[in-house]
Amino acid sequence: MKFAKKPATIGEQTIEMSNFLCKLFRSLVESDERYLGVTISEPRNILEPKFPAKDVGRPTRSAYYRWRASTRTHSLSIRAAEGLVEIFLLKIDDIPLLAFSEFGSRFKGKFELRSTADGYEWVVGNNPAVSENSIAVLQKCLDELISIDETNEPRVEKISPVMSGNNSVQSLMLEKENLIFKVLNQQELLKNELARSLHDTVLADLLMLKRHLRGDEQLSKEQVLETIDEIAQQLRDICNECAPRNLHDWGLKTSLQDMLQRMGQRTAIDCSLTCNIDIPNLPDTVELNIFRMIQESLNNIEKHAKANKVSINIERFGTKSIRFTVTDNGKGFVPGESVKSLDSGGMGLSGMKERVALIRCFFPADFGLQSAPGEGTTVFIEITLPSSD
């Protein structure tokens, strides 16, 4: 839709655009058997929930024009308001609090009424929102929706017949936009983890030290120095978690060995690392993301698995691939049903998948998880290196 000048009734034009996209969604779902399990709600104006004024994160709008495309576990939430139609991928559990669940890492695409050289028009990315470009965006969102619903594992994406030529470029642009959102989301999550760690350890100990120094029972010089040493060690650990300098100085293998050793000392879990290959020099970003994924796997084991044995195995897989495998003998779980706890309070499995997406900027990469109740859990990260020929 294109206009010689800015429409006087932007709200009506936005509703019209949202309805047009809804029709495209329905046609895609009806024409492709892969989407048989997807249901689409009727578009309508929905009031946002009312929350007390003290809630900082409450929605700024009173209502959005909304509709959803849903499977049994996840939903694409499409909201429209004043020249903007946005798409978010949410869990079904998050639907009651839509305005608080629709944030950067869940953003999947947008259609915007934008000023151009010859008037106003709807655009997606930097391209006009014509049918082919719009279908490419909606189809990508649908593919991700059913991929998450089926296995909670990354799907090998297939290029649709409509996604050729200009549509392929559009798809690449959307991938770039989504990658930016994933990077920003990881930064926010890491900041939250840092704030929580500082609050629960360093700040708490400093306040306790202050109370002791002000109290009637005076601490000895040795006790004060001992407390300061403990706080300093906590700060060192937090700094190492945020920016593992040993990774650059020692390399990936030694850094993982050190992390396992500290985990064993902290938890009394039997930890071991097996690596009978020379890990090639990898880009710093790739090494860091592999380290972070294994670190998060170990954090999940420590928090949830109730394991007494953990191992990391680094091996050649085929002629060009290297596989990093983390295995525990803990209580296990049913993938797809019990994953929610692994995503609470931190990066979790969704964060690992985002890191794999970042690694794919350098090398083909894969991520997998196997688990069953009472049989422990295995997580692997595999990267395929370019041929040396």
CATH code (residue 339): 3.30.565.10
Please tell me the least confidently modeled range out of 97-111, 128-142, 144-158, 295-309.
144-158
My answer on whether 110 and 94 are in the same domain is yes
Per-residue pLDDT, 157: 40
Alpha-carbon Rg of the chain, whole angstroms?
A: 25
Q: Which amino acid is at 280?
A: P
Question: 198: pLDDT confidence band, cut at 50, 70 and 90?
Answer: confident
Residue after which a domain boundary falls, among 200, 223, 243: 243
My answer on whether 206 and 351 are in the same domain is no
My answer on whether 238 and 151 are in the same domain is no
Q: Is the dihedral of CA 229, 235, 241, 246 positive or negative?
A: negative
Res 308 pLDDT > 90: yes
The number of domains in the chain is: 3
Residue after which a domain boundary falls, among 210, 243, 276: 243
Question: 47: pLDDT confidence band, cut at 50, 70 and 90?
Answer: confident
- Residue 172 CB neighbours (<10 A): 11
- Asked whether residue 171 is domain-assigned, the answer is no
Nearest CA to 91 among 266, 340, 289, 363?
340
The Cβ-side half-sphere exposure at 53, using a 13 Å CA radius, reads 0
Query: Which structural domain range is residue 31 located in?
Result: 2-164
Report field, pTM of the whole predicted structure over 0.75: no
- Asked whether residue 193 is domain-assigned, the answer is yes
- Asked whether residue 170 is domain-assigned, the answer is no
Question: 256: pLDDT confidence band, cut at 50, 70 and 90?
Answer: very high
My answer on whether 109 and 204 are in the same domain is no
My answer on whether 56 and 109 are in the same domain is yes
- Asked whether residue 296 is domain-assigned, the answer is yes
- Asked whether residue 169 is domain-assigned, the answer is no
The arithmetic mean of pLDDT across residues 337-364, rounded, is 69
My answer on whether 95 and 224 are in the same domain is no
Q: For the chain, what is the mean pLDDT?
A: 78
The arithmetic mean of pLDDT across residues 239-246, rounded, is 64
Residue after which a domain boundary falls, among 111, 137, 164: 164
Question: 293: pLDDT confidence band, cut at 50, 70 and 90?
Answer: very high
Please tell me the least confidently modeled range out of 28-32, 99-103, 160-164.
160-164
Pick 375 or 242 by higher pLDDT: 375
Q: CB burial class (10 A; 0-12, 13-18, 19+) of residue 129?
A: buried
